[in-house]
Amino acid sequence: MPATVLIGLGWGDEGKGRIIDFLAPQHDYVVRFNGGPNAGHTVKVNSRIFRFHLLPSGMLYPDKTCVIANGVVLDIDTMRRELDEVKSSQEKHAQLFVSDRCHLILPYHKMLDLAEEKVRGKRKLGTTGQGIGPVFADKVARKGIRVCELYDPVYLKDKLENILQEKNKILTLIFGENPLKLEEVYEKLLRDAEFLRPFVTDTLILLQKAYREGKSILLEGAQGALLDHELGTYPFVTSTSPMAGMVSLGCGLGPHQIDRIMGVVKAYATRVGTGPFPTELKEEIGQYLRDRGGEYGTTTGRPRRCGWFDVPAIKYVIYPNSPDELVLTKLDVLSGLEELKVCVGYRFESRLIEGLPAFAEAFDRVEPIYETLPGWREDISQARKPQDLPKGALEYIKFLEQALGKRISLVSVGPAREQMIALE
């Protein structure tokens, strides 16, 4: 398979990182094409846990090539930290390339992200505080600074001076923050430029060459489709697209060059940050899932909200992503629950609706319709083939396949590499 895209179909944190780590051995390239350091992808190898925010989750394999493509916004300090962590744990790792077109997260982006959250008050989005909204706003407003601009110091200083005039006014006059000093920001960027230099290339050309040579490419989505700013639960979304279609824009492989689309769903629903969540469980069972699933944010450490599997929400984003198959993660977390509920429809103002309300506030008037399935008691973390799973778990998988109209090809039953079941 030359090019496979793997994306999340929920509100993020579906377990994409560990699935990428699992699939990486069968591929030559692992590529990030969207998002930025708001992503937190966990990979567990033996007892060591890696949390990748910017580096592709194939970094631990020395024979792979990893790419941070143009669609990713770069925080150079985060990248440096992650690279140091990988280097400290193993002598050899994947070769890394960074696109010369990546936009840079600068100090004012993070400051504005936090300041804007503060003024939103009760309408805050619960962002990760990484500067994502402001950096993508600058990108479309054509005010961004890209990696390639770092290598023309005279141009860079002039542009930065111009940008800081505006940003400092906003920071001081609107948000009451301290202004940023041109020299400090500029000097740091020059140092960053030298750190980045060995990695920088035109990654579109790199990937097209790899494609021509028949190399297999694994595309690692960040966030989840329900956080998409076009079709997700706007405005409680992120500022980049987590959809499969983002691949073309985010790394330059065309739609016809994609052979396989895999969608990752968690065996229950989670969401970190604010926003609609019709199947949220605020009491005991929600806490049970949080504890058993270790549902605390990889980037921020915030407790994740937990709830029952939401078929209408996932189905809504299955349409625009058209996955060939699904991967079901964290099935082991459901062990021990007497019965499981799955939301199979929404009632809105006493009527059954197809799809999701466009207006986030209207989700308050959504009443989930549940089907109840029998649970299972057994610990399934040692299961390695379908026959090892109890009847309840197999029925749950079958039920989801039917409700979503998609085949589930892989099921994970724990965070470690080997805790995976391939379904026929």
Q: Tokens for 215?
A: 């190399």
Identified binder of ligand GDP from the candidate list 40, 131, 263, 273, rule CB under 6 A: 40
40 binds Mg ion (CB under 5 A): yes
Closest contact distance (angstroms) between CB of 224 and ligand IMO is 6
For ligand GDP (CB under 6 A), the number of binding residues is: 23
Over 367-395, what HEC string results? EEEEEEEECCCCCCCCCCCHHHCCHHHHH
By the rule CB under 6 A, 10 interacts with ligand GDP? no
How many CB atoms are located within 10 Å of the residue 252 CB? 22
**Of 314, 218, 301, 222, which Cα lies nearest the Cα of 20?**
218
Does the footprint of ligand GDP cover residue 220 (CB under 6 A)?
Answer: no
User: Is 13 a residue that touches Mg ion (CB under 5 A)?
Assistant: yes
Among 115, 219, 413, 421, which residue interacts with ligand GDP (rule: CB under 6 A)?
Answer: 413
Output the smallest distance, CB 136 to ligand IMO, in A: 8
Q: Are 227 and 13 in contact (CB under 8 A)?
A: no
First to last CA, the chain: 18
CA nearest to 172, candidates 128, 111, 107: 111
44 binds, among ligand IMO, ligand GDP, Mg ion, none (CB under 5 to 8 A by kind): ligand GDP
Catalytic positions, please? 13, 41
Which of 301, 405 has the CB closer to ligand GDP? 301
Q: CA 423, CA 210: separation in Å to the nearest integer?
A: 30
- How many residues make contact with Mg ion (CB under 5 A)? 3
The footprint of ligand IMO (CB under 6 A) covers: 8, 11-13, 35, 38-41, 125-128, 130, 132-133, 222-224, 227, 238-239, 272-273, 298
Query: In terms of C-beta density within 10 A (0-12 exposed, 13-18 middle, 19 or more buried), how is residue 296 classed?
Result: middle
DSSP H/E element including 85: helix 76-89
Which is closer to ligand IMO, CB of 200 or CB of 305? 305
Taking CB under 6 A as the rule, does residue 78 contact ligand GDP?
Answer: no
- Strands 325-329 and 408-412, bridge-based pairing: parallel
Q: Which of residues 290-319 bind ligand GDP (CB under 6 A)?
A: 293-294, 298
- What residues make contact with ligand GDP under the rule CB under 6 A? 8, 12-18, 40-42, 44, 293-294, 298, 329-330, 332-333, 412-415
